[in-house]
Amino acid sequence: MPLLVMKFGGTSVATLDRIRRAAKRVGREVANGYDVIVIVSAMAGKTNELVGWVEETSKLYDAREYDAVVSSGEQVTAGLMALTLQEMDVPARSWQGWQVPLQTTNAHASARIEDIGTEAINAKFAEGMRVAVVAGFQGISPENRVTTLGRGGSDTTAVAFAAAFGAERCDIYTDVDGVYTTDPRITAKARKLDKIAFEEMLELASLGAKVLQTRSVELAMRYKVKLRVLSSFEDTDQDGTAGTLVCDEEDIMESNVVAGVAYSRDEAKMTLLSVADRPGIAAAIFGPLSEAGVNVDMIVQNISEDGRTDMTFSLPTNQVERAKAAMTAVKDSGDVNYAELVTDEDVAKVSVVGIGMRSHAGVAAQMFQALRDEGINIKVITTSEIKISVLIDRKYMELAVQALHDAFGLEKAA
Amino acid sequence: MPLLVMKFGGTSVATLDRIRRAAKRVGREVANGYDVIVIVSAMAGKTNELVGWVEETSKLYDAREYDAVVSSGEQVTAGLMALTLQEMDVPARSWQGWQVPLQTTNAHASARIEDIGTEAINAKFAEGMRVAVVAGFQGISPENRVTTLGRGGSDTTAVAFAAAFGAERCDIYTDVDGVYTTDPRITAKARKLDKIAFEEMLELASLGAKVLQTRSVELAMRYKVKLRVLSSFEDTDQDGTAGTLVCDEEDIMESNVVAGVAYSRDEAKMTLLSVADRPGIAAAIFGPLSEAGVNVDMIVQNISEDGRTDMTFSLPTNQVERAKAAMTAVKDSGDVNYAELVTDEDVAKVSVVGIGMRSHAGVAAQMFQALRDEGINIKVITTSEIKISVLIDRKYMELAVQALHDAFGLEKAA
């Protein structure tokens, strides 16, 4: 029988009523002739409550115990979902990560999936079970302990199951009805995309469009899993085309050069003024930052004058203190000689993303022009094959997003 | 190293503060040189919440899914307890039932323990772990699914661990400070017992003294596990003698003939008037009652007159409707011919329990005299080797308990 994977996030299973609503969707796909693997999150709020208890108990907690505690939320939802389906006369049963088994690395609290056993679940499908309800976000380590995959890990669980079981599609039910050209709270012209390429989704996900966990998109791209994002609160999916399909770029006939405009508010900029410019200076700066757990994003090095240069980089706001400490340490140890460390916490990042850029020159110029027309100064620029990001003053962020959305004509489909 | 099992019930781990308090007790035993296996219940109220969700989802729920949902509460407490101990620098880790493994039968929601694997936990003790925190109440079935042992099953888990690991003692921490000669709410003369024999505790437990799950006492008796019941809310256990020790009768030097007076309020009495008395009539009545799930306790058959007799039995109040239906059915089918079915729901059971009865004649006579002195009419009597129970009007229950407590001098130790 053809197989679907359906994933329901925390808000979609927040109450027994919502679980019933989700179960009805599953029942419809079963009636359509699909076997279904349902991946569930914990009821909304549950994981936060459990994490709160762990953190209150122990500041530097043992991640193995964190995982043992926090994974319990999904287990509850999985059992309740299976019971709800059974009440609807749909043959279903629940599985915890270790029962599948979903094998992971030992990296507790952010484990990676190594392997998914398909035998046990397929044997039950062969016996007539129509729905396997699997607790998302969790697996089992080589040491036989429960692991979790990091926040949002249920998306990754869903895609991994779709890949392992060769599912026709992986549907991610969430509280938004798809992926938009930009955040609809910033411009009413934002338009829902029917399709988006994996590469674009990946850039958008890592840029802060919190619809899908980045790793789930990577995994879907690698294993060519058709991934659909749709709302569990709307009843419009009679023909299987609701939401946004994340797919191979070959599956998208026509698209705009730019698919979307993303932003990230929590950015900071640091500059080391008058650094002695010598071979290995970048390593001497960014090595210690990486060791201190600072995620440096954009880097700009000024032209060297008299053997000295300025080095600027961006980082998440909440890592500024750690970065300062690391930079003070390398100065004190004599590894890096700089005159001054300047921090600007009032910046934001705005990016345009689109696979069409590969074949279209002039996107960067068009972007810079649009920002200049609004009088917005660009502080740092980085580019990739399908993305251009700029760091600007935070107060201009909304304005920049609106201007770029207009400039690239995103309110209209290609 | 010598080993202790310490079990903490739901009220003893109801909040993070109480978990800390319980962990301190564990830490003291570790400091005393013990390795410890801690068995934890779910935080008070949690299991009820989970059971409520299951019952709201599905009236005739699949017990396998019930177990998957309901077992999650203990898992949370086990992780939090391990973290708390680690914070106190006590090397500890948590175990779920399937990780131990604690093997059970397939009887979901009331599974029986088949085997406890000691290898994994002992290996960790050998590596320097001092406390294994085990989620109580749960195990794993031959089909690799999570099972639970029935309400109160954490007591049984604790005793089974003490037996499997050859623990020096099994301490059950609860919200009372031991086993009393009777319910202190009924008479202020009730006295805490320092020791009680397994057989006596078994009778008291099954008579409704809700301190320990009956099965845990059976298990302790079979495997000679020294079982101690004590309060987790008092700090009086400096010398290891607080609470009540449940032990072999040989370990009790002196004791009263009667150890305690127990009662059960939720009793009903049914009488089949004028039953045709013939061989097999008892089977024809009590077979169908058993099949209907009615737990018949006391049975009295009157002397037969003219080939007819009256048959009286007691049963829990909430099973009266089921019993009536079963008795109507056997009358309609012609299997049992009786004139009338009379039900009395206003009765209570009062019992005196003591291994001393074995060697002391006259306990029954003394009991009946004490009740007669108070003008209390006895409706039904049953006796065992170490117990005498009577069914009386419920309004006299407290009076009967007080009178018997006085009559047997239970306010004073032997």
**Interface ipTM:** 0.81
Give the pair of three-digit tokens for residue B384: 């065992």
Pairwise CA distance, residues A242 & A179, whole Å: 11
- pLDDT value for A105: 96
Amino acid present at A338: Y
Place of tokens 């930079």: A327
Query: Least CA distance to B87: which residue of chain A?
Result: A58
> How far does the CA of residue A157 sit from the closest CA of chain B (Å)?
19
Among B53, B65, B144, beta carbon nearest to A99? B144
A chain contacts of residue B53, beta-carbon cutoff 8 Å: 16, 76, 80
- Nearest one of B317, B311, B319 to B341, comparing CA atoms: B311
Pairwise CA distance, residues B140 & B146, whole Å: 5
Dihedral over Cα of A287, A291, A296, A302: its sign: negative
Would you say how long chain A is, in residues?
414
Average pLDDT over residues A36-59: 95
> How far does the CA of residue B15 sit from the closest CA of chain A (Å)?
10
Average pLDDT over residues A20-28: 96
- pLDDT value for B208: 60
Query: Least CA distance to A144: which residue of chain B?
Result: B99
Which residues, at least 6 apart from B29, have a Cβ–Cβ distance to it below 8 Å?
B4, B6, B36
Lowest mean pLDDT of A11-20, A185-194, A359-368, name the range: A359-368
Pairwise CA distance, residues A182 & A161, whole Å: 29
Set out the domains of chain B in order of their start, with CATH numbers. 3-175 (3.40.1160.10), 261-407 (3.30.2130.10)
Judge: B83–A56 Cβ closer than 8 Å, yes or no: no
Among A16, A58, A99, beta carbon nearest to B83? A58
- pLDDT value for B209: 61
Q: What is the mean pLDDT of chain A?
A: 92
- pLDDT value for B382: 87
Pairwise CA distance, residues A355 & A274, whole Å: 38
Count CA atoms within 13 Å of residue A344 on its CB side. Answer: 18
B chain contacts of residue A83, beta-carbon cutoff 8 Å: 54, 57-58, 61-62, 65-66, 69
* pTM for this prediction: 0.83
pLDDT tens, position by position, A225-258? 999 999 888 776 666 678 999 999 888 877 788 9
Query: Least CA distance to B134: which residue of chain A?
Result: A68
The answer to whether the beta carbons of residues B197 and B32 sit under 8 Å apart is no
Judge: A83–B50 Cβ closer than 8 Å, yes or no: no
The answer to whether the beta carbons of residues A41 and A154 sit under 8 Å apart is yes
B chain contacts of residue A80, beta-carbon cutoff 8 Å: 53-54, 57, 65, 69
- pLDDT value for A208: 60
Judge: B146–A72 Cβ closer than 8 Å, yes or no: no
Pairwise CA distance, residues A337 & B124, whole Å: 50
Place of tokens 């590894």: A335
Please write down the HEC assignment for all residues of A66-101: HHHHHCHHHHHHHHHHHHHHHHCCCCEEEECHHHCC
Q: What percent of chain A has pLDDT over 70?
A: 97
Amino acid present at A169: R
pLDDT band at B177 (very low <50, low <70, confident <90, very high): confident
- pLDDT value for B207: 67
Strands A195-197 and A244-247: parallel
User: Is A249 exposed, middle or buried, given 0-12, 13-18 or 19+ CB atoms closer than 10 A?
Assistant: middle
Element spanning A271, H or E: strand A260-276
Which residues, at least 6 apart from A129, have a Cβ–Cβ distance to it below 8 Å?
A91, A92, A93
> How far does the CA of residue B70 sit from the closest CA of chain A (Å)?
8
Check pLDDT > 80 for residue A271. Answer: yes
pLDDT tens, position by position, A369-378? 999 999 999 9
Angle, vertex CA A387, rays to CA A381 and CA A393, nearest 5: 40
- Nearest one of A36, A30, A29 to A161, comparing CA atoms: A36
- pLDDT value for B354: 92
- pLDDT value for A236: 64
Pairwise CA distance, residues B386 & B364, whole Å: 11
> How far does the CA of residue A90 sit from the closest CA of chain B (Å)?
13
- pLDDT value for A250: 83
DSSP state of A229: E
Helix, strand or coil for residue A329?
A: helix
Rg (alpha carbons) of chain A, rounded to whole number: 24
Helix, strand or coil for residue A345?
A: strand
Check pLDDT > 80 for residue A10. Answer: yes
- pLDDT value for A315: 93
User: Which segments of A201-259 are extended strands (E)?
Assistant: 227-231, 244-247
> How far does the CA of residue A115 sit from the closest CA of chain B (Å)?
19
Judge: A145–B99 Cβ closer than 8 Å, yes or no: yes
B chain contacts of residue A84, beta-carbon cutoff 8 Å: 57-58
Beta bridge partners of A135: A40
A chain contacts of residue B66, beta-carbon cutoff 8 Å: 79, 83
Check pLDDT > 70 for residue A109. Answer: yes
- Nearest one of A39, A26, A37 to A3, comparing CA atoms: A37
Judge: B75–A69 Cβ closer than 8 Å, yes or no: yes
Q: What percent of chain A has pLDDT over 90?
A: 72
Among A65, A72, A83, beta carbon nearest to B57? A83
Average pLDDT over residues B281-310: 87
Lowest mean pLDDT of A408-412, B196-200, B247-251, name the range: B247-251
Lowest mean pLDDT of A303-307, B41-45, B110-114, name the range: A303-307
The Cβ of residue A322 has, within 10 Å, a number of other Cβ atoms equal to 15
Pairwise CA distance, residues B113 & A47, whole Å: 31
- pLDDT value for B236: 65
pLDDT band at A206 (very low <50, low <70, confident <90, very high): low
The answer to whether the beta carbons of residues B212 and B155 sit under 8 Å apart is yes
Average pLDDT over residues A91-103: 98
Pairwise CA distance, residues A99 & A119, whole Å: 11
B chain contacts of residue A144, beta-carbon cutoff 8 Å: 99, 120
Q: What is the mean pLDDT of chain B?
A: 92
Among A75, A78, A86, beta carbon nearest to B58? A86
Pairwise CA distance, residues A32 & A30, whole Å: 5
pLDDT band at A26 (very low <50, low <70, confident <90, very high): very high
Check pLDDT > 80 for residue B317. Answer: yes
Give the CA distances from residue B382 to residues A190, B256, B360, B386, in Å, rounded to whole numbers and listed in that order: 81, 21, 17, 11
Judge: B54–A79 Cβ closer than 8 Å, yes or no: yes
Pairwise CA distance, residues B243 & B237, whole Å: 8
Place of tokens 């001054």: A340
Helix, strand or coil for residue A56?
A: helix
Judge: B79–A54 Cβ closer than 8 Å, yes or no: yes
Higher pLDDT, A9 or B383: A9
Beta bridge partners of A200: none
Amino acid present at B130: R
pLDDT band at A358 (very low <50, low <70, confident <90, very high): confident
Judge: B79–A68 Cβ closer than 8 Å, yes or no: yes
Which residues, at least 6 apart from B233, have a Cβ–Cβ distance to it below 8 Å?
B12, B175
- pLDDT value for B356: 86
The answer to whether the beta carbons of residues A146 and A98 sit under 8 Å apart is yes
B chain contacts of residue A56, beta-carbon cutoff 8 Å: 16
Check pLDDT > 80 for residue A210. Answer: no
> Does the N-terminal peptide bond of residue B101 adopt cis geometry, omega within 30 degrees of 0?
yes
- pLDDT value for A301: 84
Q: Which of B17, B18, B46, B69 to mutate to test the interface with A (most CBs of A within 10 A)?
A: B69
pLDDT band at A75 (very low <50, low <70, confident <90, very high): very high
Average pLDDT over residues A187-214: 85
Higher pLDDT, A129 or A307: A129
A chain contacts of residue B65, beta-carbon cutoff 8 Å: 79-80, 82-83, 86, 93-94
pLDDT band at B91 (very low <50, low <70, confident <90, very high): very high
Judge: A83–B61 Cβ closer than 8 Å, yes or no: yes
CB-based burial, B283-295: b 16+ in 10 Å, e otherwise: ebbbebbeebebe
Q: Which of B76, B86, B98, B131 to mutate to test the interface with A (most CBs of A within 10 A)?
A: B76
Interface of B with A (CB under 8 A): 16, 19, 50, 53-54, 56-58, 61-62, 64-66, 68-69, 72-73, 75-76, 78-80, 82-84, 86-87, 93-94, 96, 98-99, 120, 144-146
Judge: A54–B144 Cβ closer than 8 Å, yes or no: no
Helix, strand or coil for residue A410?
A: coil
Give the pair of three-digit tokens for residue A55: 């953190």
Judge: B87–A53 Cβ closer than 8 Å, yes or no: no
Interface of A with B (CB under 8 A): 16, 19, 50, 53-54, 56-58, 61-62, 64-66, 68-69, 72-73, 75-76, 78-80, 82-84, 86-87, 93-94, 96, 98-99, 120, 144-146
Check pLDDT > 80 for residue A40. Answer: yes
B chain contacts of residue A94, beta-carbon cutoff 8 Å: 65, 68
Judge: B86–A65 Cβ closer than 8 Å, yes or no: yes
Give the CA distances from residue A3 to residues A51, A159, A171, B299, in Å, rounded to whole numbers and listed in that order: 34, 13, 11, 59
Highest mean pLDDT among A15-29, A284-298, B168-182, B238-252: A15-29
Please write down the HEC assignment for all residues of chain B: CCEEEEEECHHHHCCHHHHHHHHHHHHHHHHCCCEEEEEECCCCCHHHHHHHHHHHHCCCCCHHHHHHHHCHHHHHHHHHHHHHHHHCCCCEEEECCCCCCEEECCCCCCCCEEEECCHHHHHHHHCCCCEEEEECCEEECCCCCEEECCCCHHHHHHHHHHHHHCCCEEEEEECCCCCECCCCCCCCCCCECCEEEHHHHHHHHHCCCCCCCHHHHHHHHHHCCCEEEEECCCCCCCCCCCCEEEECHHHCCCCCCCCEEEEEEEEEEEEEEEEECCCCHHHHHHHHHHHCCCCCCCEEECCCECCEEEEEEEEEHHHHHHHHHHHHHHHHCCCCCCCEEEEEEEEEEEEEECHHHHHCCCHHHHHHHHHHHCCCCCCEEEEECCEEEEEEEHHHHHHHHHHHHHHCCCCCCC
The distance in angstroms from the start CA to the end CA of chain B is 36
Query: Least CA distance to A143: which residue of chain B?
Result: B99
Angle, vertex CA B74, rays to CA B72 and CA B76, nearest 5: 75
Beta bridge partners of B180: B192
Pairwise CA distance, residues B104 & B102, whole Å: 6
B chain contacts of residue A145, beta-carbon cutoff 8 Å: 99
Average pLDDT over residues B282-291: 90
